[in-house]
């Protein structure tokens, strides 16, 4: 026996989006409200076109309110039709009939379930993306500030977990900024141009819409209906029905994946910087945030942890949406139905990650002194690339590399610091080259003198993705 669900999805197991704006924007209430908006919009447009009597619209508007519907009952009744629109339309029609029996004939006129739910999904997505875009804007402003403030702050560049060459924290922040900026552009384009209304009727020909219009006006009015409904709801105009051409949903999944991946990259970098042995950054938060239930000394990087957890969930959800493009015939059995929950999961995870990333970026504290300490931890080995370039003219490229590899190995084995071993290397003394004097070698081993075009790249990122001056 199936009972009526109770309670609500509060996000107990998904704290990244719990209580955030995207939570409300993607709730069952939000989807119900969006479906009712679609039904009302169709009635308004059809009345303006003369397809249904104008007197029916106020009655439909007055009862098409979410509080008049029992979500739990609708969810259970949806099992009998494999979608929630059928019981919703049945209930809506009954409510209208109780107010005005004649108006009930004009509910859902010429429509099909997929038209309503697809269009409602576009409304839900648009609102969720608006919240997401706002959070990305906040994140970008904060990251731009970090990049500008620390454009000359030296830090260790790391590749494959190890020190590689010196860089600046400003360039690291500029990289985060560029990712967020590109993600935001994709969200904006999709939100403003890529979410179409869905009007196709039972089999993608809009035949019933046209038949009702011809009966009332003498012409089918389908093009007019599509354009007017899109305008009424603030959605894009479809080129043709897309019941089994699921690019809009796949596009949503792809953009959400870009957002999640970009924010996840930011978060995993922060996690590295927050490691005890690195200690170059700390997350914001009130007293008690990041506490461990067992270890009183811990201050866990919870914001970045939430972001990483969310980011890992979005790509699989987007993968389901991509697979659902394999939708047979003119209306599919299962492919359409498989989209709904993964899309909501993706919107929630990406939206929650963006909300959390904005807080993280706005409050991230970094420690330049610790960065400098770590930069010198290897005794100059972090600039071995630069030393190799300087030694090559005197020793030859191959021999210079061999010498530095030997010195690095000796330093790693604990036989001395890299800079001391280099200064004592007989090959340098034998070369008699002025540019390999003790003073020259000391300058070569100064990490701050080997930052390449870091400052230039920071400025390019600020020019391209930073807030207007």
Q: Return averaged pLDDT per consecutive 10 residues of the chain, 469 residues in all.
A: 57 90 95 98 98 97 96 94 96 97 96 97 98 97 98 96 95 98 98 97 95 95 97 97 96 98 98 95 73 54 96 97 93 93 97 97 97 93 88 86 90 88 81 69 88 97 88
Rounded Cα distance between 197 and 236, Å, is 6
157 and 58 in contact (C-beta within 8 Å)? no
The rounded Cα 373 to chain-centroid distance in angstroms is 35
Q: Is residue 438 exposed (0-12), middle (13-18) or buried (19+ Cβ within 10 Å)?
A: exposed
Q: Can you tell me the distance from the alpha carbon of 79 to that of 131, in angstroms, rounded to the nearest whole number?
A: 32
Q: What per-residue string of b and e applies to 185-206 under the rule 16 or more CB within 10 Å gives b?
A: ebbbebbeebbbbbbbbbebeb
HEC string of 345-414 equals HHHHHHHHHHHHHHHHHHHCEECHHHHHHHHCCCCCHHHHHHHHHHHHHHHCHHHHHHHHHHHHHHHHCC
- Residue 104, CA distances (Å) to 60, 67, 292 in order: 8, 19, 59
Q: Which CATH class is domain 21-150+169-371?
A: mainly alpha
From 125, 104, 118, 94, select the one nearest 30 (Cα to Cα). Answer: 125
- Under 8 Å CB-to-CB from 462, ≥6 apart: which residues? 144, 147, 148, 174, 177
Interatomic CA distance for residues 433 and 1, integer angstroms: 89
Beta bridge partners of 282: 365
The pLDDT assigned to 10 comes to: 84
pLDDT of residue 391: 85
* Cβ proximity of 282 and 302 under 8 Å: no
Say what the pLDDT of residue 296 is.
45
Q: If phi over 0 gives left and psi between -120 and 50 gives alpha, with beta otherwise, what is residue 11?
A: left
- Determine the 3-state secondary structure of 281 from DSSP: strand
Verdict on whether the full-model pTM lies above 0.75? yes
Residues with catalytic annotation?
Answer: 292, 331
Q: What is the pLDDT of residue 45?
A: 98
Residue/partner pairs of 188-194 with CB below 8 Å, 24 or more apart? 188/133, 190/129, 190/251, 190/252, 190/255, 191/125, 191/126, 191/129, 191/130, 191/133, 193/236, 194/236, 194/248, 194/251
What pLDDT does residue 2 have? 46
Phi and psi at residue 281, in whole multiples of 5°? Answer: -155, 160
Query: Nearest Cα to 379, choosing from 435, 436, 446, 424?
Result: 446
pLDDT of residue 289: 53
User: Which residues sit opposite 236 in a β-bridge?
Assistant: 196
CA–CA separation, 112 vs 92, rounded Å? 14
Do residues 307 and 259 make contact, with C-beta atoms less than 8 angstroms apart? no
- Give the pLDDT score at 434: 61
DSSP letter, residue 433: -
d(CA 304, CA 357): 8
Domain boundaries in the chain?
21-150+169-371, 380-444
């Amino acid at each position: 026996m199936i009972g009526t669900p109770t309670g609500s999805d509060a996000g107990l197991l998904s704290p990244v989006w719990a209580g955030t704006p995207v939570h409300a924007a993607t709730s069952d209430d939000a989807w119900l409200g969006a479906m009712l908006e679609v039904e009302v919009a169709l009635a308004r447009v059809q009345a303006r076109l003369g397809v249904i009597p104008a007197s029916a619209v106020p009655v439909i508007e007055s009862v098409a309110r979410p509080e008049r519907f029992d979500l739990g009952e609708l969810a259970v009744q949806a099992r009998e039709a494999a979608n929630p629109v059928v019981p919703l339309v049945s209930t809506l029609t009954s409510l209208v009939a109780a107010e005005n029996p004649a108006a009930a004939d004009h509910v859902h006129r010429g429509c099909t379930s997929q038209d309503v739910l697809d269009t409602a999904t576009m409304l839900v997505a648009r609102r969720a993306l608006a919240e997401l875009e706002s959070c990305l804007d906040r994140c970008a402003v904060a990251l731009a500030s970090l990049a500008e403030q620390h454009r000359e702050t030296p830090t260790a560049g790391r590749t494959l977990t190890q020190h590689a060459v010196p860089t600046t924290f400003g360039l690291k922040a500029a990289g985060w900024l560029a990712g967020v900026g590109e993600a935001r552009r994709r969200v904006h384009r999709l939100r403003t141009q890529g979410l179409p209304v869905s009007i196709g009727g039972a089999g993608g020909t809009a035949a019933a819409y046209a038949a009702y219009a011809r009966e009332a006006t003498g012409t089918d009015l389908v093009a007019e209906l599509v354009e007017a409904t899109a305008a009424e709801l603030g959605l894009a105009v479809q080129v043709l029905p897309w019941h089994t051409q699921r690019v809009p949903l796949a596009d949503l999944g792809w953009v959400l994946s870009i957002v999640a991946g970009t924010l996840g990259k930011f978060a995993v970098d922060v996690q590295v910087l927050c490691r005890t042995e690195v200690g170059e950054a700390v997350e914001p938060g009130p007293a008690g945030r990041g506490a461990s239930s067992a270890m009183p000394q811990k201050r866990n990087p919870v914001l970045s942890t939430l972001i990483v957890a969310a980011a890992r969930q979005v790509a699989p959800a987007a993968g389901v949406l991509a697979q659902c493009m394999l939708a047979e015939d003119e209306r599919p059995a299962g492919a359409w139905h498989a989209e709904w929950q993964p899309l909501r999961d993706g919107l929630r995870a990406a939206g929650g990650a963006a909300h959390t990333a904005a807080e993280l970026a706005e409050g991230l504290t970094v420690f330049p002194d610790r960065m400098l300490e770590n930069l010198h931890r290897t005794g100059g080995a972090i600039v071995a690339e630069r030393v190799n370039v300087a030694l090559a003219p005197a020793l030859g490229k191959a021999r210079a590399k061999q010498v530095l590899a030997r010195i690095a190995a000796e330093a790693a084995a604990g036989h001395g610091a890299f800079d001391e071993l280099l200064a004592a290397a007989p090959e340098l003394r034998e070369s008699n080259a002025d540019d390999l004097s003790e003073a020259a070698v000391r300058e070569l081993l100064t990490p701050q003198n080997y930052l390449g075009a870091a400052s230039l790249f920071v400025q390019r990122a600020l020019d391209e993705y930073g807030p207007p001056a």
